[in-house]
A and B are shown apart, each in its own frame.
Chain A
Amino acid sequence: MSDACPPSACDGCRAARGELERLGISVARWDYVVALAGNPNTGKSTLFNRLTGLRQHTGNWPGKTIARAEGGFGYGGSRYKLVDLPGTYSLRSASPDETVAREFLLFGRPDLTVVVADATSLERNLNLTLQILQVTDRVVMALNLMDEARAHGILIDARRMAGDLGIPVVPCAARSGEGVEDLLVEMEAVVTNRTTTRPYRLKLDVPGVAAAMEQLVAKLEKRFPQLPNAEWIALRLLEGDRAVAAKVADGSIGFSQTNSLAPNLA
């Protein structure tokens, strides 16, 4: 736990914990799908390896994961499919590797998204977190690289952060395994609805946009009733996102491509 955490009742009473069972790539059936998202080089693949027992290539440079990787683990009697996504700074950018992440978060409908944030540069990592909170409800933040943050003299009040964001925030260090158990407890609590998240949705108070959004959302929802994030799509259309426009036009929006999938250059 972070040094800055005020002592809390929770520290004394550990919840009953299950055993982590690493399932490698054997995820034929699963109870929950969990997406690992975050900025580049925050340790998503390291956490992925620790939970699944797989050996996804890791390295200390941004842009290392280019396609998504899947693996599984069992915890507390449930089986989880974990999807390691390429790092991305924003849901609004569109290089092929970032598109993979964006598509899965928007349309893959994971049961839970774990945002892996770099504790040493939290402000920048919050940009993406806030965007993810706009498109999905069930989110847990893994405040990773806490060991480095401590070495740099950075203190983080994870409880206050959790209160502000409306989601569980778990300090951890995936490389050494510190805090990974706490993370599993929180993940389980959210997918089983024992914890209800109240994600902080940033108000986009640009005058004049709200009315336009409303009209577009109504139209989108009429044509694509199954669309989970119509507001976000409407916003992208208003921003002139051609990739999203093309998907609306050909009716493929909302259907995640299931295979790995860099768009062709042809």
Chain B
Amino acid sequence: MKPAPKTDDILEMAEELRWDLPRNFNDHLTEAIYAESSRLAERSVARQGQSRRMDLQNRVDRLLTSPRTGFLIMGLVFALVLWLTIVGANYPSSWLGWLLTDQAYGWLRELAFAYLPAWLAGLLIDGMFLATGWVISVMLPPMAIFFPAFTLLEDLGYLPRVAFNLDRVFHRVGAHGKQALTTAMGYGCNAAGVIAARVIDSPRERLIAIITNNFSLCNGRWPTQILIATVFLGALVPAQFAGLAATGAVFGVALLGFALTLLCSWALSRTVLRGEASTFSLELPPYRPPNLWRTLYTSLIDRTLFVLWRAVVFALPAGAVIWTVANVMVGDVTLAGWMVTRLDPLGIFLGLNGVILLAYIIAVPANEIVIPSILMLTVLLLGQGDAWAESGVMFETGTEGVSEILQTAGWTALTGVCLMLFSLCHNPCSTTIYTIYKETGSVKWTAVSTLLPTALGFIICGGVAFVWRWVQV
């Protein structure tokens, strides 16, 4: 938008006329409209007695939005949704894993290698099919539980209450209270969260909301958190508490993400994006009984399958890329082996390893394929040692299978913890980066949004790894 040139005669005239207008005439206008609305409403609206429903709603609201109980309930609701997701997703994940990466994989592999040239069979089955199979078995079950649960809360009207509770907190760090809504949308998808920032009027606060949205774990990262927490932290406690321990770990990471959102908002609003937090009014809509079946249907079809489809679309080429880098030779090692060796020192310094960093490079288009990429690279690199003789044998079902693969590759609890932290703090996926660019129209702010979380991830993971090793020595 061009700045208005000073010479425009209409604008000049408006400026001149404004001098002669009565003071506060805007307020007069607003008042006139309000008064008229009130008069008209009075003419045709009547109330019948005192509404019971209103009373109940007010009492529930007092509980859900009071400073004392509001946060507690919010935490409990969130933890419950996570726990349901983690415990509930375990079984279907195992079945799908057994079906896709155990049975179907072995069977297809035999078939393909019998009739196709070895390189093509490898590319199709060891590459594309395996990556996709892992995406489906790891992603589908948690999403099929998490999304409907979240949508039910949304339809019920809980989201505005969350925004109301968090308003004070966001206000204190110099951000807009509606950032609570964009943060919540980010838990589904960061690109959606970034677009949702349009509800914020002030450009300063809108930028803060956009930059910090990446600290909301998106649907591509929940499965990573859940799987790694189950495999590495759930395994540290007796089996009956595994679900709780995993939930606690994921909850902790999500909470850390929220803390980072506040911290970065505060830092930004004190430095480059300085300014006062603006006030706004937020309606608390009445609680509405969600339409259960429709909610289940739409959140399964529109969100779960949509996201799964996106994951599959990215997993297919990624699987091919991974298989290729693991089979193209550079001198006497494979390209993947060469890259992993190069990345290993940095990875290990961060408590991770070269495979994880390479997987994150391959997975820039979609966070959904991080875990499949890690698994495939690990398997393919391990396979180049001696044990890689026959097909299928590597894969056991479900989380135990994953656990076995990763432990064989030398992963420890430290690797698991650092991966969870890095999954929280790294660059947004390419879709989100593009969306940020479209929404801000600025290369500078897109770069800040991309590099800030990555830098934080390096610092946090490096710090955790350093302390962990120091304590252990």
Contact = CB atoms under 8 A, between A and B. Distances in A.
A60 B36 CA distance: 29
Contacts of A184: none
Given A59-B159, A238-B14, A265-B445, A250 B45 contact: no
Category for how many chain B residues contact A: 35 or more
A240 interface: yes
B203 to A, nearest CB: 5
B4 interface: yes
Interface stretch (A21-29, A73-81, A185-193, A207-215): A207-215
A264 B441 CA distance: 5
Nearest to B301: A55
Interface stretch (B49-57, B101-109, B219-227, B409-417): B49-57
Given A124-B37, A151-B53, A248-B11, A93 B1 contact: no
A4 B155 contact: no
A3 B216 CA distance: 47
Nearest to A126: B37
A155 B47 contact: yes
Interface stretch (A7-15, A30-38, A107-115, A156-164): A156-164
B258 to A, nearest CB: 19
Contact of B442 (A127, A216, A266): A266
Interface stretch (B15-23, B88-96, B259-267): B15-23
B13 A126 contact: no
A19 B333 CA distance: 69
Interface stretch (B26-34, B77-85, B125-133): B26-34
Contacts of B442: 264-266
A127 B33 contact: yes
Interface stretch (B136-144, B284-292, B342-350): B284-292
A95 B439 contact: no
B74 to A, nearest CB: 15
A220 B17 CA distance: 14
A238 B18 contact: yes
Interface stretch (B192-200, B318-326, B464-472): B192-200
Contacts of A249: 2, 4-5, 8, 11
Contacts of B34: 127
Contact of B282 (A62, A127, A153): A62
A69 B309 CA distance: 23
Contacts of A41: 283, 285
A153 B47 contact: yes
Contacts of A94: 201
A60 B46 contact: no
Interface in A126-159: 126-127, 129-131, 148, 151-158
B53 A152 contact: yes
Contact of B441 (A55, A63, A127, A266): A266
B302 A219 contact: no
B440 interface: yes
Interface string A64-91: 0011000000000000000000000000
Nearest to B37: A126
A57 interface: yes
Contact of B46 (A127, A155, A165): A155
A262 B438 CA distance: 9
Nearest to A169: B44
A95 B201 contact: yes
Given A61-B157, A154-B47, A265-B445, A66 B3 contact: no
A175 interface: yes
Contacts of A127: 33-34, 37
A206 interface: yes
A254 interface: no
Contacts of A126: 36-37, 40-41
Given A41-B283, A152-B53, A215-B17, A60 B45 contact: no
A209 B53 CA distance: 46
A234 B34 CA distance: 21
A129 B10 CA distance: 29
A96 interface: yes
A20 interface: no
B188 to A, nearest CB: 10
A154 B29 CA distance: 29
B81 to A, nearest CB: 16
A198 to B, nearest CB: 15
Contacts of B178: 63
Interface string B385-402: 000000000000000000
Interface string A221-238: 001000000000011011
B307 interface: no
B110 interface: no
A40 interface: yes
Contacts of A66: 195-196, 198-199
A4 to B, nearest CB: 6
B18 A95 contact: no
B68 interface: no
Interface in A165-220: 165, 175, 202, 204-209, 212, 215-216, 219-220
Interface of B: 1-5, 8-11, 13-14, 17-18, 20-22, 25-26, 28-29, 32-34, 36-38, 40-41, 43-51, 53-54, 151, 154-157, 159-160, 163, 178, 181, 195-196, 198-201, 203, 206-207, 282-283, 285-288, 291, 298, 301-302, 439-442, 445
23 contacts: A55-B298, A55-B302, A58-B155, A60-B160, A61-B160, A61-B163, A63-B178, A122-B44, A124-B37, A126-B36, A148-B288, A152-B54, A157-B44, A206-B32, A209-B21, A212-B18, A215-B13, A216-B10, A216-B17, A238-B17, A248-B4, A249-B2, A264-B440
